[in-house]
């Protein structure tokens, strides 16, 4: 008799939350760099400015929204991918073919992106708030407060968000497929990540994805790679930590499966 353990459907979300707690400051600096109209500061300078103006804890602004994003986006994509993969593998008595894993990852990423975009938008806004003058800050108390206020106050923005959900969802699917490649994923995803951040942080100045693309393009090609360094530094440990936490959860709390040998 051989005993193995498989993940529970929610382990991916928990593992991603644990990883996000470790890498959140880098994500915050990335957002600050991406929302600069012109390149005025680099990663170190931006981090020092945040700490000087609002203290060390300001590096964790928006953490509740980041965790909310992980519990929607990451939990959904991991739940879909791992649950379906394990079920098919058990039925076929062997691993899934590679092309099926790619298609499943794309579907999981697309679905997770669609569900996780509202929390992602609140996360971007909360992270960027400390950079704004006090009179322009949104001052969301936490992630749920941000979601509720977007629903109540941003009717037009909500409509634009719904139109752009598919674009973000598709890009999340691509991001999920490339996530294990670390630096390669960062370079490939960075231009659309910049556009996504600027759209989510906007106060109505962009009509949609194409308008944001063209407006960002006026600043030159480098504008699409703002925040590349902290994004790369964050993505690699975030991915590694996520799978380390996921593996430990599976080993100690996973579902026991006993097979005869």
Residue-level pLDDT at 51: 92
- Say if CB 43 and CB 229 are below 8 A apart: yes
**Residues 249, 20, 53: CA angle, nearest 5 degrees:** 155
Rounded-to-integer distance, Cα 144 and Cα 16, Å = 19
Could you tell me the pTM of the whole model? 0.81
pLDDT exceeds 60 at position 173:
no
Q: What is the pLDDT of residues 53-82, one digit of tens each?
A: 889 999 999 999 999 999 999 999 999 998
Give the pLDDT band (50/70/90) at residue 114.
confident
Give the residue with greater pLDDT, 189 vs 102. Answer: 102
Asked whether residue 167 carries a pLDDT value surpassing 70, the answer given is no
Alpha helices in 93-180 (DSSP H): 98-128, 143-153, 155-178
Q: Helix, strand, or coil here: 172? A: helix
CATH tag for 9-253 (out of 1.50.40.10, 3.40.640.10, 3.30.56.10, 2.60.40.2470): 1.50.40.10
| 127-133: Cβ within 8 A, 24+ apart | 127/27, 127/28, 127/31, 127/32, 127/61, 127/62, 127/65, 128/31, 128/32, 128/35, 128/201, 129/61, 129/62, 130/50, 130/53, 130/54, 130/58, 130/61, 131/32, 131/35, 131/50
CA dist 92 → 77, 85, 97, 185 (Å): 22, 10, 11, 31
Q: Is the pLDDT of residue 179 over 80?
A: no
Q: What backbone torsions phi and psi does residue 32 show, to the nearest 5 degrees?
A: -60, -40
pLDDT at 135 over 70: yes
Write the CB contacts of 35 (distance below 8 Å, at least 6 apart in sequence): 128, 131, 197, 198, 201
For the stretch 198-243, pLDDT in tens is 988 888 788 888 898 899 998 888 888 888 888 888 888 888 899 9
Element spanning 192, H or E: helix 183-201
Q: How buried is 3 (Cβ within 10 angstroms: 0-12 exposed, 13-18 middle, 19+ buried)?
A: exposed
Alpha-carbon span 211 to 127, nearest angstrom: 23
């Amino acid at each position: 008799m051989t005993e193995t353990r498989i993940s529970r459907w929610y382990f991916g979300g928990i593992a991603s939350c644990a990883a996000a707690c470790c890498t959140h400051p880098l994500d915050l600096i990335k957002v600050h760099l991406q929302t600069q109209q012109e390149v005025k500061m680099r990663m170190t300078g931006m981090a020092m400015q945040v700490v000087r103006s609002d203290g060390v804890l300001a590096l964790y602004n928006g953490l509740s929204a980041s965790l909310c994003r992980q519990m929607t986006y990451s939990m959904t994509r991991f739940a879909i991918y791992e649950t379906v993969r394990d079920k098919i593998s058990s039925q076929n008595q062997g691993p899934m073919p590679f092309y099926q894993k790619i298609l499943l990852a794309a579907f999981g990423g697309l679905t997770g992106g669609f569900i996780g975009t509202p929390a992602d938008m609140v996360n971007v806004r909360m992270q960027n708030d400390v950079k704004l003058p006090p009179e322009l800050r949104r001052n969301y108390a936490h992630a749920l407060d941000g979601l509720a206020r977007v629903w109540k106050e941003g009717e037009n923005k909500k409509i634009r968000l719904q139109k752009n959900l598919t674009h973000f969802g598709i890009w999340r699917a691509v991001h999920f497929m490339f996530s294990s490649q670390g630096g390669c994923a960062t370079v490939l995803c960075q231009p659309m990540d910049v556009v996504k951040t600027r759209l989510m942080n906007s106060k109505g100045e962009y009509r949609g994805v194409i308008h944001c693309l063209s407006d960002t393009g006026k600043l030159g090609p480098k504008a699409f790679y703002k925040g590349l360094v902290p994004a790369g530094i964050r993505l690699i440990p975030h991915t590694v930590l996520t799978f380390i936490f996921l593996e430990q959860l599976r080993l100690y709390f996973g579902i026991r499966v006993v097979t005869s040998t």
